[in-house]
Chains A and B, each alone.
Chain A
């Protein structure tokens, strides 16, 4: 496929699409590359938007994956502020929102996911924010400061990171979560309790098991979040962080296989061999768990960019990976490896009260996933054990005086 005139068109200029464009050049792809992005700026890192950037510890230059001139210098036709509107698989073209049409030899869908909106009364008020793009983060940053109260709907990672950053900027934060505990879908109870305590010590308030009924406003601007129990949580702004939905409409309309995202194989190839899908939009196989699922993480975006770049340039596929992700809140570094599938035992190593511990999720004597707080050895060795499927000695793993190197030996 990597003939000199092969044109790779990448739709979506986020972390996955931007990385793929650069990797194709690194891997020696000689043909044309077109990178189409809805946002007005070149690809950037999203994770710092709720962390270092929000606290003012990183600037726009450091967020950018590459400087703008990189694209021109490397023969990548970067088209900002343009959205793909349709794929014509018959003549291999993509229609764009500026009225033009681009012919492709390989098409890569890297369209990401969008924040889920709450279809509730008052949802069109000003001051209701979400956190997905740099523009969203600008609006959030402008809203935060001493004397301001932000209501955060959704006690997931985005909500908790935003709460920690809000406190760092002097704003009051109230997190409203529908489930009886934080991180209910993604973490075990020990971790939920630990994060709640830690945030409460930093002055964050929580409303757990609380259903949001709508938003109150004055002069078109939000003033409070209405709960099902009749109370209203007063706020100056509300951040909605209740999950994301894959931008898979282009693929659906083009007749590609779509499940909870665009279905791909280990080369990131869709049901049409000329079309790939990578990053948050892809529903992909994960051999170590013998499953297919969709992931929203930077490491997944990078891995699938590598898979597609290898397939397009004819390189051997990258070795299988162990998925991982991280979160920074206050002085806590959470590193997670793997997913807790088929787990029959949850094992705590270390003492949460010390602010340094890890939770291992086991299937028999195999590690399925690990959540490590300020504990790089547990994360690094845990990730290795998930990948190599080695049996572990549970007693040693539970004993923090036995080093992780010995546990993994």
Chain B
């Protein structure tokens, strides 16, 4: 279990307990947190679950696959700390994770 803080673009914060094994995307979508669309449900096919990972956590969220890297390359407003949240698996090690959302996923 990890407590994850999702911060919408307008600053609205959602603190959610997310079960291990789910993805950061699923933690948001299953709790109706707005701002992460995840149109493809986690297949790394759409780049609509884009988040910015808080600087303190960048090393702990795993490496980007070539597919994720390539999809992100064409998303809007990408920063060095951008990730597709469907590709980050939740574990105890991510307890306290903070992610921010871009203005739009489309």
Interface residues, chain A, CB within 8 Å of chain B? 22, 25-26, 45, 47-48, 51-52, 62, 64-67, 70, 74, 298-299, 302, 319, 321, 324, 326, 328, 333, 335, 374, 376-377, 380-381, 404
- The distance from the CB of A49 to the nearest CB of chain B, in whole angstroms, is 11
Are the CB atoms of A328 and B70 closer together than 8 Å?
A: no
List the B residue with the shortest CB-CB distance to A380.
B74
Q: Which of B65-89 contact A (CB under 8 A)?
A: 67, 70-71, 73-75
- Judged by a CB distance under 8 angstroms, whether B45 is at the interface is yes
Give the distance to chain B from A56, nearest Cβ to Cβ, in Å. Answer: 14
CB pair B39–A299 under 8 Å, yes or no, is yes
Kindly state the separation between the CA atoms of A70 and B26 in the bound complex, as whole angstroms.
14
Smallest beta-carbon distance A143→chain B, Å: 24
Indicate which residue in B30, B43, B70, B106 contacts A47 across the interface (CB closer than 8 Å).
B43
Q: Contact residues of B with A, CB < 8 Å? A: 22, 26, 29-32, 34, 37, 39-47, 67, 70-71, 73-75, 106
Can you list 17 A-B contacts (CB < 8 A)?
Answer: A22-B32, A25-B32, A45-B41, A47-B40, A62-B42, A64-B30, A66-B30, A298-B40, A299-B39, A299-B46, A326-B45, A326-B46, A333-B45, A376-B71, A377-B70, A380-B47, A380-B71
Q: Which one of B29, B46, B71, B75 has the highest number of Cβ atoms from chain A below 10 Å of its Cβ?
A: B46
Which residues of chain B come closer than 8 Å to A52, judged between CB atoms? 43
**Complex Cα spacing A113 to B97, Å:** 41
Identify the closest chain B residue to A21 (Cβ).
B32
Asked if B43 and A326 make an inter-chain contact with CB atoms under 8 angstroms apart, the answer reads yes
Whether A326 lies near B40 (C-beta < 8 A) is yes
Number of A-B contacts (CB under 8 A): 63
| A328–B30 CB distance below 8 A | no
Structural contact, A333 and B67, CB atoms closer than 8 A? yes
Min Cβ gap B33→A in Å is 9
B32 touches A26 (CB 8 A): yes
The 8 closest A-B pairs by CB, nearest first: A380-B74, A376-B70, A326-B45, A45-B41, A376-B71, A26-B34, A22-B32, A66-B30
Given contacts A62-B22, A376-B67, A381-B74, contact A335 B32 (CB under 8 A): no
Q: How far is the CB of B89 from chain A (nearest CB, A)?
A: 12
Give the nearest-CB partner of A67 in chain B.
Answer: B30
Interface contact B73-A377, CB-CB below 8 Å: yes
Residues of B within 8 A of A374 (CB): 67
A74 touches B45 (CB 8 A): no
A67 to B30, CA, bound (A): 7
Beta-carbon nearest neighbor of B68 in chain A? A376
For the complex with contacts A62-B42, A65-B29, 19 further pairs of A-B residues with Cβ separation under 8 Å are: A26-B34, A45-B41, A47-B40, A47-B41, A62-B22, A65-B30, A66-B31, A298-B40, A299-B39, A302-B39, A326-B46, A335-B45, A374-B67, A376-B70, A376-B71, A377-B70, A377-B74, A380-B73, A381-B74
Q: Could you tell me if B39 and A298 are in contact, using CB atoms closer than 8 angstroms? A: yes
Residues of B within 8 A of A376 (CB): 67, 70-71, 73-74
Cα A143 to Cα B61 with chains together (Å): 38
A48 to B32 Cα, complex, angstroms: 21
Given contacts A62-B22, A64-B30, contact A328 B74 (CB under 8 A): no
Complex Cα distance, B31 from A263, in Å, reads: 33
Closest beta carbon of chain B to A44's beta carbon, Å: 10
* Contacting pair B43 A62 (CB below 8 A): no
Shortest beta-carbon distance, B75 to chain A, in Å?
8
Chain B residue nearest in CB terms to A22 = B32
Report the minimum CB–CB distance from B93 to chain A (whole Å). Answer: 20
For A299, the chain B residues whose CB sits under 8 A away are 39-40, 46
Distance A51 CA – B30 CA, assembled complex (angstroms):
21
Q: Which residue of A lies closest to B104 (CB)?
A: A319
Is the Cβ of B71 less than 8 Å from the Cβ of A70?
no
Known: A62-B22, A377-B70, A377-B73. A74 touches B32 (CB 8 A): yes
List, in ascending order, chain B residues with CB within 8 A of A70's CB.
30-32
* Alpha-carbon gap, A377 to B69, bound state (A): 10
> What is the CA–CA distance of A22 and B30 in the complex, to the nearest angstrom?
10
Contact across chains for A298 and B74 when beta carbons are under 8 A apart: no
Residues of B within 8 A of A65 (CB): 29-30
- Tell me which residues across on chain B come within 8 A of A45, comparing CB atoms: 41
Contact B43 A328 (CB under 8 A): yes
For residue A298, which residues in chain B have a CB less than 8 angstroms away from its CB? 39-41
A404 to B37, CA, bound (A): 25
